[in-house]
């Protein structure tokens, strides 16, 4: 399933991923932008219709829960970026990231993570 969040939806999902299930007021407080309560409520209802969030009653309010995992959203977004900006080449994406000014320690950590991922893949075979 391809996941496409608008900027505002991504902000709201970020709040839910960080805080866990939240009321409209709690989501509103977690956002950087000062949005009206009704704006956040409307966005959450739209997102519920898309299947991105679910809600459960809690007294007079509702608690909204993320139904899309952060990892799945990241994978979908990264796939689009790779396809659109790097001709579908993960190698080009990686080279661009490496050339973006990472410090040597960050590069070493990335290399170690890649080496570990390769070992894990070889162990699974």
**What's the pLDDT tens digit per position in 39-98?**
999 999 999 999 999 999 999 999 999 999 999 999 988 988 999 999 999 999 999 988
Burial 73-96 (b: 16+ CB within 10 A, else e): beebeeeeebeeeeeeeeeebeee
- In degrees and rounded to multiples of 5, residue 14 shows phi and psi of -60, -40
> Looking at the predicted structure, is the pLDDT value of residue 38 above 80?
yes
Global pTM value: 0.78
Residue 42 is predicted with a pLDDT of 97
Q: Vertex 82, ends 77 and 86: CA angle to 5°?
A: 150
> Looking at the predicted structure, is the pLDDT value of residue 105 above 70?
yes
> Looking at the predicted structure, is the pLDDT value of residue 22 above 90?
yes
> Would you mind telling me the total number of residues written for the chain in this entry?
125
- Higher local confidence (pLDDT), 76 or 1: 76
Q: Vertex 110, ends 10 and 99: CA angle to 5°?
A: 80
């Amino acid at each position: 399933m391809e996941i496409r969040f608008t900027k505002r939806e991504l902000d709201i999902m970020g709040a839910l991923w960080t805080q866990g299930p939240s009321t409209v007021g709690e989501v509103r407080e977690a956002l950087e932008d000062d949005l009206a309560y009704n704006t956040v409520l409307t966005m959450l209802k739209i997102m519920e219709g898309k299947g991105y969030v679910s809600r459960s009653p809690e007294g007079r309010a509702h608690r909204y829960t993320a139904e899309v995992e952060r990892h799945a959203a990241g994978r979908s977004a990264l796939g689009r970026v790779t396809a659109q900006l790097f001709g579908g080449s993960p190698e080009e994406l990686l080279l661009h990231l490496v050339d973006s000014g990472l410090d040597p320690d960050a590069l070493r950590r990335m290399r170690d993570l890649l080496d570990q991922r390769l070992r894990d893949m070889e162990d699974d075979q």
